[in-house]
Chains A and B, each alone.
Chain A
């Protein structure tokens, strides 16, 4: 004798439940959380080193009419091993928590809740979650973030959106990094644009170079918009 039990429940229910709790907690504190996803070496940490001091008011944006409202950032740093990236972020003098996955290829929502416990959330406007370097697995897991941001560097090749469609479909914004190296690569901007738009009609694409600083201001402006959305127009 056998008995059939109907379940129909997401296999990722535990993760999705923790993600929903993170999202509620962040919304209650009017904190914007952004999930940064890229391959290893695409420039996630370098991007943070560029944008965080600017948002914080530590470096003045060239050509800006007046100093803008200060945005206080914190970082949850996901890595398989070592605290090297967290050490780089610590030099920016902001709160950072290193989340070590011990071999795990992505971050999960329960790890984010523990990370949030260790952050002074009342003194933070923006939490960057730097996922483990990988453009396949992290796209599968909701962490409770407000948006996923993809980072692709031109040295990786213009075929990546077609090869990793889920990530490029899921992102709210895409940063195309290492633009200073474009002439030295076979990266085809037209192929990239066509393939990316085939997956994602709406996400803005920011052409930047973390090395030279080119294009970083436009992306920083977009980040300010996201924080303004969370906090209400009068706050920022």
Chain B
């Protein structure tokens, strides 16, 4: 449900980028979402379509890159992929590793009509 406020923030951000770069129609945007974030891409896309309607963002393509979660073991220093809800080192079994990736929620780029 929080996807609505996240998508509203995204639309505002794309609009600001558009205005700062000549004000042309938005053709596509690129975002990345970490798998550790509780953001459902399908819901975000549906909200985006609704919020973009009637603006110069309408019809723009949304490319979503999904970033897998990885963590760093504080004990043996290994970097490992996070499996579901376990931030436990697969080598030395230490719990509570530090997340290195998987929490991304970024606007990477905007493609504008020249």
Contacts and interface: CB of A to CB of B under 8 A. Distances in A.
Contacts of B95: 197-201
Contact of A7 (B17, B22, B94): B17
Interface residues of B, number: 38
Contact of A3 (B31, B84, B114): B114
A105 B6 CA distance: 12
A166 B85 CA distance: 8
Interface stretch (A10-18, A36-44, A65-73, A172-180): A10-18
B99 A169 contact: yes
A162 interface: yes
B99 A136 contact: no
Contacts, number: 109
Given A11-B6, A137-B1, A198-B95, A1 B113 contact: yes
Interface residues of A, number: 37
Contacts of A5: 17, 21, 109-112
A1 B114 contact: yes
Interface residues of A, dominant DSSP: mixed
Given A108-B5, A198-B88, A165 B36 contact: yes
Given A166-B36, A166-B38, A11 B106 contact: yes
A141 B94 CA distance: 28
Given A7-B107, A140-B37, A202-B96, A195 B9 contact: no
Interface of A: 1-15, 104-106, 108, 136-137, 139-141, 161-163, 165-166, 169, 195, 197-202
Interface of B: 1-2, 5-6, 9-10, 12-13, 17, 21-22, 24, 27, 31, 36-39, 74, 84-88, 94-96, 99, 105-114
